[in-house]
Structure 1
């Protein structure tokens, strides 16, 4: 079965294509310290799906970075920036008083010789520093080449070419029973189609393969602890992550990775079977969305922006689980800035000379309306009223915001509009409206589109500037 599946998804792979190697590890700590420890070394069932001509990540995205170096020569073989659940959790109030452990993974082409794997983390000045290192010998007797139980048939949704030349997107279902597989297939195809109506994905559709995978669940739906609902779904997705009723994550990384290993993937969207508004997205880990929510098209695309290109949330009027930064460090994300020096604005090349920095907009009126919406939202959730009432509230909010933001003097212009990253003051976004700011029927802003295109190139583009040889 494993052999036949490998042939199905990797017919273009040569005999020399390496398997996918995975390092599973534990990430433990609190707001002031963190530690790492090895869990296991795994050879996944399928060949490495990545672009052999782009092994080195030159995007400079991510709170963390991992590198794979040849032990004998110290030559850099592979690298990727990423973010993590731990990286978000350490900014919550809980992390000031408690320790927690999260399970994480590195994936890279299986090496032929021993390699050093290094984990680095940014400081406040955006400089990476080494935090952990381990030696990986592919001949180690503890490298596990066995396959976990099959999650079921792989669904080809869009096949544009060989995996090594494309971005492989896996849509992974959770909370669907075996009888609900037709529903999963319909949901997955619908949301994939929606993604490709947004630029730059629309213009770059031919650079993507899309796969579907649905491990059958014993019960329909996923956990929602705030309402007393608990499910043991295969991927482990749950609402109420970090106490936020709308935030959907899985904390079962081992199960997630084992299931996903049966598909060629660079990026993953976890499609959960439910109608309550919710989702989440972590750069280079996964995105999530509730399939049956009225707002699933928006949430899918918004959260995919987080996962795919590390785009920051540009909204700031909703409640957040995170503590505000004590100062205003310049974010690594492409689409937000502290604007400490307008002359050095990271997207200055896109700003017209006639657009002032900071860029004025009617911020007070927007915030007054947003506060009213948030009060109504809290009441609907606290009283556990039907999801249709939340949908009606969001629809009313969208209609008001589209008209209001579209009428601003600098609407459609790139500038620096104050209010972003959950902060009303001190952080700025590129345009007055964007997929990363509201649920409005608007595109990604110009800066976000540029960042998304850069990551598409990382997986489906020509060899990078570094000229580094493939592993």
Structure 2
């Protein structure tokens, strides 16, 4: 890959960070200038039965495109949606990425059966030098991609927004391993930190970053990542938690109680977090909220969140990042979620780590399957479910009674110890097979291994999830 020119705007933005000198020294003068980043902000609306798209605005972001020019097309088949950027003259697909949406989750909730809502989304791609057609695809009844909407975009149009506000804060280089074009760029956005807590934000960012790169396969691929941190101070410490009457001003719009779930943290203000994030190189965003109440969330290709001060922040950070980064499905099925479990009409999920198939020849992870593991693979399911029913009842009682967070953490530690002991002597504990219970459903869906970071509060991904993560890393760092 030829080295790209890093414009003065980026070098100045990075001034004052540990990486600035190295970046400046390595910025070669060549004819390979990175394009700007074009962002198409859209509205995605509807209800449980219908959906609509509409253009909100087109924005030229202030920094160059950080992506890998050698891998413009996404062949991973991940996401509930996909978008393509198509040359109007030739029909050539110039760029494509899969992603998922907040709207897609919301439309499975009970609220979506009674009213329509609109959610903001962004499509980012290297700015073309000519008009293009942006095509948006959704999943059909067989989970294949079907065209849902298209939009002509002229980067030279008069209504394209080109003048960004000055950066409200400088990004901090937590880990810098080279030109963004050849690396995965992860941005840690802080929310709920006051001006007096900026040192705490940096410490939280470094701690959670270190945790991510202690878990395989991120551990082995750490040199393929740049990690940036950026936060704008807010007047009061913490974020909103409406179920307890707590409301705070927010830098990104992040809050608890999304879709009525007390632990679910998302932002529904896409514009707020994108206008902040655009001042750092990024492909992936983790919003770190300054709070100790258990919570987080993750949307593939959009963002993930974590409550940085919770006792289980290390686990939640990596778990939710698995959703956002690699499109991994939740493998658990005993905890309540705001959105509905899949219905009885089961199609094969697009997520790489869950399956509705027991045919050995069609199993997604057939190449990984242990020869000794029968399908379905036996595990102590009955005992696990009986114990989890008690845990979930106690968990609900703790929240209803507004007990101290330390009691919730203690319950989770007890749960982790019990499940670890239950699985310790299981015959197929380390096998790759098809373990029934996944994707929020007790029956009909299967996970690859008995234990995984996407199933319980384990400390490692299963081998199938590790492979899925590697696929995405390769999409951003490998050659054609």
Give the structure-1-normalised TM-score. Answer: 0.96
Unpaired segments of 5 or more residues in structure 1? 464-471
Asked whether 1:201 is paired with 2:218, we answer yes
Q: What residue ranges of structure 2 are gaps of 5+ in the alignment?
A: 1-7
Q: Distance in 2 between matches of 1:116 and 1:452?
A: 30
Hey, what does 2:357 align to over in structure 1? 339
Equivalent position of 2:423 in the other structure: 405
CA RMSD, 1 decimal: 1.4
Question: Following TM superposition, by how much is the alpha carbon of 1:343 offset from its aligned partner in structure 2, in angstroms?
Answer: 2.7
**1:268-302: CA deviation from partner (whole Å, max 9, x where unpaired):** 11000000000000100011000000000000000
- Are 1:353 and 2:362 an aligned pair? no
Query: Equivalent residues in 2 for 1:323-402 (5 A)?
Result: 323-326=340-343, 327-402=345-420
2:284 equivalent among 267, 276, 280: 267
| Aligned-partner Cα distance in 2 for 1:5–1:328 | 52
Q: Deviations over 1:28-72 (max 9, x none)?
A: 100111111111010001000000000000111111000001111
Query: Using the alignment, how far apart are the partners of 2:336 and 2:47 within structure 1?
Result: 22
Aligned residues of 2:13 and 2:170 also touching (Cα < 8 A):
no
Displacement of 1:353 after TM fit? 1.8
Q: Of residues 446, 453, 460 in structure 2, which corresponds to 1:428?
A: 446
Task: State the match for 2:330 in structure 1.
Answer: 313
Offset of 1:231 from its aligned partner? Answer: 1.1
The answer on 1:165 being equivalent to 2:182 is yes
2:199 to 152, 177, 182: 182
**Alignment partner of 1:53 is 2:70:** yes
Question: Once superposed, which parts of structure 1, at least 4 consecutive aligned residues long, lie more than 4 Å away?
Answer: 1-4, 6-11
Distance in 1 between residues matched to 2:337 and 2:448, nearest whole Å:
21
Counterpart CA distance in 2 for 1:423 and 1:342 is 21
1:304 aligns with 2:321: yes
Please point out which of 82, 86, 94 is paired with 2:99.
82
Mapped to 2, the partners of 1:43 and 1:202 lie a distance apart of 34
| Alignment partners' CA distance in 1, 2:202 and 2:144 | 43
Q: In the alignment, is residue 417 of structure 1 matched against residue 435 of structure 2?
A: yes
Match of 1:438 among 456, 468, 477: 456
Q: Shift of the alpha carbon at 1:123? A: 1.1
- CA distance, structure 2, for counterparts of residue 199 and residue 116 of structure 1: 39
Aligned to 1:447: 464
Question: CA contact under 8 A between 1:84 and 1:283: conserved in structure 2?
Answer: yes
Counterparts of 1:79 and 1:171 in 2: how far apart (Å)?
24
Q: How many residues align?
A: 462
Whole-Å separation in 1 of the counterparts to 2:123 and 2:325: 16
Kindly state the Cα deviation for residue 2 of structure 1 after the two structures are TM-superposed: 5.2
Asked whether the 8 Å contact 1:373–1:397 carries over to 2, the reply is yes
Deviation (angstroms), 1:352: 2.0
Residue 154 (str. 1) matches residue 144 (str. 2): no
The alpha carbon displacement at 1:6 in A equals: 4.8
- Counterpart CA distance in 2 for 1:177 and 1:141 is 38
TM-score (normalised: structure 2)? 0.94
Aligned to 1:469: none
Q: Matches of 1:7 and 1:359 in 2, distance apart? A: 52
2:5 alignment partner in structure 1: none
SS at 1:144's partner residue?
coil
